[in-house]
Structure 1
Amino acid sequence: MTPRRLFAGTRLRAIRAEHRLKQAELAARLAISTSYLSQLENDDRPLTPALIERLSRAFPLDWREIGAGDAETRLAALREANADPLFAEPMDAAQLARFAEQQPALAERFIALHEAYRRSGQRLQMVDEALAAEGTSGPRLPWEEVRDWFHLAGNYVDSLDRAAEAMGERLGTPSPDTTAIEGYLKGALSVSLIYSGQAGLRSYDAQMGHLTIDPGQPSETRRFQLAHQLAALALKDEIAAVVESAELRSTASRQLLFVGLCNYAAGALLMPYRRFRSAARAVRHDIDRLAQQFGVSFEQACHRLSTLQREDARGVPFFFCRVDMAGNITKRHSATRLQFARFGGACPLWIVHEAVAIPDRILVQLAETPDGVRYVSMAKGLVKPSGSYDRAPRRYAVALGCEAEHASEFIYADGLDLRSTSAAARIGISCRICPRADCDQRAFPPSDRAISVDPDQRGVVPYRVG
């Protein structure tokens, strides 16, 4: 079979325009001459497999989305699976291109098998943690069941996201403000609004149609609570359909999922998918600028970035989590290969723990997990006021990060030495399932390893991991 020749002049010019690069700058990134790039951009020469590989690594989002056909989409997925640390010697670019071109059905089965392997690994990790954690025997609690549902759904609900986006587009640009949401609640849904601090953060009387909001909350939180109620009423049927299809076991689980989906829809309403994704890429995912542009909180912007996984317009694959003062992970999602501990806290070497103690300051970190994958993390400590002296403010930290290959899209990676062999913090998932035998910060031995104790020798920890 004669290999298909791929001409991509329009795509290359689009990439240069998106990243404001001169021909010489793009040529340098691709390790080719400027004249060669000029020929490629004018479709005088086709791309070679080696160049396709370099483009996909240098501009993963752009190369995946700019007019890619079935063959290019298949090759991109094959390249991602081939890059798994599972393979000690992955195939080179030319081999992958031939495989994708000459054996498309087999390539797609390989991709599907790798995805099944990855999912099985995640499920096995869930089981390992459940067995290793104390006091977790018996069925999953409702909040654990809902948490796992969102994780296995990829933290993206297409039908709900598109419905909320369409509503957000109608209500405001770039994001519906408080006045627009209040107007829709009053005019279209016949809801009367009461601002009072006597009924919790938000209380809705369905019989009377009264919505009470605590005025002591920050303006971004008040707006989010309004958006939550709008979604719960205007998108009730769409949300109920998702809950029904989830097949959760208990009434409490289904109710929690309904609340979680209302929150999801509120985020999609305030930060409509395509507008938010485009704005995020334009500012290289600068959270403060996004929060200001869309009138949302720092945490809300971080959380929304972790949901941008629409099939035809994916965002950067991020992980996101929220950690309280005791180190408990109270929110988490990952579209990356990094998966958070389901029980207890995260690795003590991860910078999010330091951020909890230093509010309103952004910390960054280059970290490496035991499988050799590197990540760029951003963490910020936050204090959410209660609006009253007799209620303590909430203190926690949020973290957002991506794999190092996306560092050029993440402003917080600027200044980090991504190539240094010693600059990355050697983190794990949690002590109970971390295989590192030489960690000085270990709180517990790994649950699947034997330990040895020498009464006459004492290191940082009183045992050695077998």
Structure 2
Amino acid sequence: MQKTFLGPQLRRLRQERGETQGAMAKALGISPSYVNLLENNERSVSVAVLLRLFETYGVDWRSIEKDDSAAILSDLRAALQDPLFTDRRPDLTQLRAAMVHAPDLVSAFLRLHRAQGAAMDRLSALTDSESLPSPEAAVHLAFRRHRNHFPALEEAAERFWTPPPRDEVYTALKTRLREMHGVTTRLARVEEMPATLRSYDEARREIQLSEALDHPNRAFQLVHMCALLGHRDLLDSLTSGVAGAAVQARLRVELANYFAAAVLMPYAAFLAEARATKYDFDHLATRFGVSFEQACHRATTLQREGAQGVPFFFLRIDKGGNVTKRFNATEFPLAEYGGACPRLDVHTSFRTPGRIVPQYVEMPDGSRFFTFSRTVDRPTWARHAQDNRLAVAMGCASEHAGAVGYAEALSLSAPVTQIGINCRICPRQGCDQRAHQAMIQTEPVDAHRRGATRFDV
């Protein structure tokens, strides 16, 4: 049984009620010294104490047990890669201590750093926007807070249906929408829906799907609509704590996508097949009737307590290097702003369409990851829209590489590529792929020397 540590949550619970450690100890029937050990995460919380917390304070222990420390630690380490902290960067022990003893300070620091990053990006773009994260960045943060896993959506997906034979899924979904929601489905010609893949006409109770969608994506879009129409209350509850209509709408779409993936790729079956095939995503896509990208995305959500898959991060870029989607169940510090590091082979995968490109990488703090990349094709409407291609990268900490078949193409002694988060904050000054000078780098260039780039001082 996994040990449960609730130090910061327990301290916050006590302080909100204005109690001393002695008062809480008396209320729970334990010693003050034990309360102190619990608050400092030096002891795990027993089931008996969790039950007394519920009885005494009326707090559901499952709500305070939620542990997002891994995501917070990853975000903290990423923020501290900023060149501003080069000379006095706290070590891992100090960061963990800060999370235990000053969680509110850590939270405030991360909010301030994100606001600073957003402000710098907006200043660079010469806009007058407020220093708030974009809806995409806010959604990424919301998923990180849940460790990229939503038990309520998983449970709803498991109750959705008894999966029909795979070749009958699309028909079964159309029947379900018609019988349960009074909604019909129509396949529309491309010229009827220019630059649109799915449209819902609420007045006519009709879903229109573009003929440009392939079969797996037609099924995915119908399950997405089942989530929007049949699980409004659940989606409302998951988006209620998010500020801003734009962010709520974006989050609602991503949660409906999560539900669709959970329905088409049931948790237990998908995890078992992934482990059996060492995460062969072409095989997984074929077995579950989904796309390669959808199978990759689903793998990042396998974080159920007691039945966890390899913790992956997921990154999707376009041919210009812009990050168009990102999800993270690892400590890999994905950039919140700007593009991905140009030394990641996800960029070079465009040279070999459809082929897996494996790579070992090392972050500036010494942490190592195994990554693999591949291009994916988007729906094509017409002749002039050919080569509408993106690339996806998946990665995990190097210690998990043995569970991933794609790593077999590389030996443990394979070269390791040194990368950063992105050029804006990367401390690798001599990198031959640097696109612009890092923030806070104030040393002037040497006019008598030409380094690897024009930014090399």
TM-score category, normalised to shorter length: 0.7 to 0.9
Question: In 2 relative to 1, CA 297–207 (structure 1 residues): closer, same or farther, beyond 3 Å?
Answer: same
Question: In 2 relative to 1, CA 171–463 (structure 1 residues): closer, same or farther, beyond 3 Å?
Answer: closer
The match for 2:224 is 228
Normalising by structure 1, what TM-score?
0.72
CA distance in 2, matches of 1:393, 1:222: 21
1:175-214 equivalent positions in 2, closer than 5 A: 177-197=169-189, 198-199=192-193, 200-214=196-210
Which segment is superposed worse, 122-131 or 367-376?
122-131
1:389-404 equivalent positions in 2, closer than 5 A: 389-404=383-398
Deviations 1:59-84 (A, max 9, x none): xxxxxxxxxx245x77xxxxxxxxxx
Asked whether the 8 Å contact 2:75–2:333 carries over to 1, the reply is no
The match for 1:41 is none
1:319 matches 2:313: yes
Helix, strand or coil at the partner of 1:346: coil
1:179-328 equivalent positions in 2, closer than 5 A: 179-197=171-189, 198-199=192-193, 200-244=196-240, 246-248=241-243, 250-328=244-322
CA distance in 1, matches of 2:42, 2:333: 25
Q: What is the CA-CA distance between 1:361 and the residue it aligns to?
A: 1.4
| Corresponding residue to 1:427 among 419, 427, 443 | 419
CA distance in 1, matches of 2:174, 2:399: 42
Asked whether the 8 Å contact 2:355–2:375 carries over to 1, the reply is yes
The match for 2:328 is 334
Question: In 2 relative to 1, CA 203–463 (structure 1 residues): closer, same or farther, beyond 3 Å?
Answer: closer
1:141 matches 2:134: yes
The match for 2:454 is 462
1:407 matches 2:401: yes
Q: What is the CA-CA distance between 1:235 and the residue it aligns to?
A: 1.7
Helix, strand or coil at the partner of 1:186: helix
CA distance in 2, matches of 1:117, 1:151: 11
Asked whether the 8 Å contact 1:445–1:451 carries over to 2, the reply is no
Q: Which amino acid aligns with 2:41?
A: E
Q: Which amino acid aligns with 1:227?
A: V
| Corresponding residue to 2:370 among 353, 365, 376 | 376
RMSD, aligned CA: 2.6
Q: What is the CA-CA distance between 1:129 and the residue it aligns to?
A: 3.5
Question: In 2 relative to 1, CA 204–393 (structure 1 residues): closer, same or farther, beyond 3 Å?
Answer: farther
Name the % identity.
36
1:453 matches 2:445: yes
Normalising by structure 2, what TM-score?
0.73
Deviations 1:239-262 (A, max 9, x none): 121112x232x2222222222211
Asked whether the 8 Å contact 1:174–1:294 carries over to 2, the reply is yes
Asked whether the 8 Å contact 1:365–1:378 carries over to 2, the reply is yes
Q: What is the CA-CA distance between 1:462 and the residue it aligns to?
A: 2.5
CA distance in 1, matches of 2:40, 2:342: 40
| Corresponding residue to 1:360 among 350, 354, 360 | 354
Deviations 1:333-360 (A, max 9, x none): 1211212112221111100001134321
Deviations 1:417-460 (A, max 9, x none): 2245xx10111110111111331211122213323311111112
| Corresponding residue to 1:108 among 41, 51, 61 | 41
1:78-157 equivalent positions in 2, closer than 5 A: 105=38, 108=41, 115=70, 117-121=73-77, 123=110, 126-127=114-115, 129-133=117-121, 134-135=124-125, 138=130, 139-157=132-150
Asked whether the 8 Å contact 1:164–1:231 carries over to 2, the reply is no
The match for 1:30 is none
1:163 matches 2:163: no
Q: What is the CA-CA distance between 1:125 and the residue it aligns to?
A: 5.8
Asked whether the 8 Å contact 1:324–1:396 carries over to 2, the reply is yes
Q: What is the CA-CA distance between 1:410 and the residue it aligns to?
A: 0.5
Which segment is superposed worse, 279-288 or 226-235?
226-235
Helix, strand or coil at the partner of 2:304: coil
Q: Which amino acid aligns with 2:355?
A: R
Asked whether the 8 Å contact 2:358–2:373 carries over to 1, the reply is yes
Q: Which structure would you say has the larger RCO, counting Cα contacts within 8 Å and 6 or more residues apart?
A: 2
CA distance in 2, matches of 1:162, 1:187: 22
CA distance in 2, matches of 1:181, 1:393: 31
Asked whether the 8 Å contact 2:118–2:133 carries over to 1, the reply is no
Helix, strand or coil at the partner of 1:417: coil
Deviations 1:173-200 (A, max 9, x none): 6897212212211222222111112232
Q: What is the CA-CA distance between 1:132 and the residue it aligns to?
A: 4.3
Q: What is the CA-CA distance between 1:147 and the residue it aligns to?
A: 3.2
Q: Which amino acid aligns with 2:419?
A: I
Asked whether the 8 Å contact 2:359–2:371 carries over to 1, the reply is yes
Asked whether the 8 Å contact 1:385–1:393 carries over to 2, the reply is no
1:437 matches 2:429: yes
Count of equivalent residues: 363
The match for 2:84 is none
Question: In 2 relative to 1, CA 270–141 (structure 1 residues): closer, same or farther, beyond 3 Å?
Answer: same
Question: In 2 relative to 1, CA 113–167 (structure 1 residues): closer, same or farther, beyond 3 Å?
Answer: closer
Q: What is the CA-CA distance between 1:210 and the residue it aligns to?
A: 1.0
CA distance in 2, matches of 1:210, 1:361: 39
Helix, strand or coil at the partner of 1:211: strand
Q: Which amino acid aligns with 1:185?
A: L
Question: In 2 relative to 1, CA 235–171 (structure 1 residues): closer, same or farther, beyond 3 Å?
Answer: farther
Deviations 1:103-146 (A, max 9, x none): 98477359989655444445376355335432376233333333
CA distance in 2, matches of 1:285, 1:353: 22
CA distance in 2, matches of 1:386, 1:125: 40
Helix, strand or coil at the partner of 2:389: strand
Question: In 2 relative to 1, CA 117–403 (structure 1 residues): closer, same or farther, beyond 3 Å?
Answer: closer
The match for 2:339 is 345
* Structure 1: gaps (5+ residues): 1-68, 75-102
Asked whether the 8 Å contact 1:194–1:211 carries over to 2, the reply is yes
CA distance in 1, matches of 2:235, 2:309: 24
Question: In 2 relative to 1, CA 376–113 (structure 1 residues): closer, same or farther, beyond 3 Å?
Answer: closer
1:387 matches 2:381: yes
Q: What is the CA-CA distance between 1:319 and the residue it aligns to?
A: 0.7
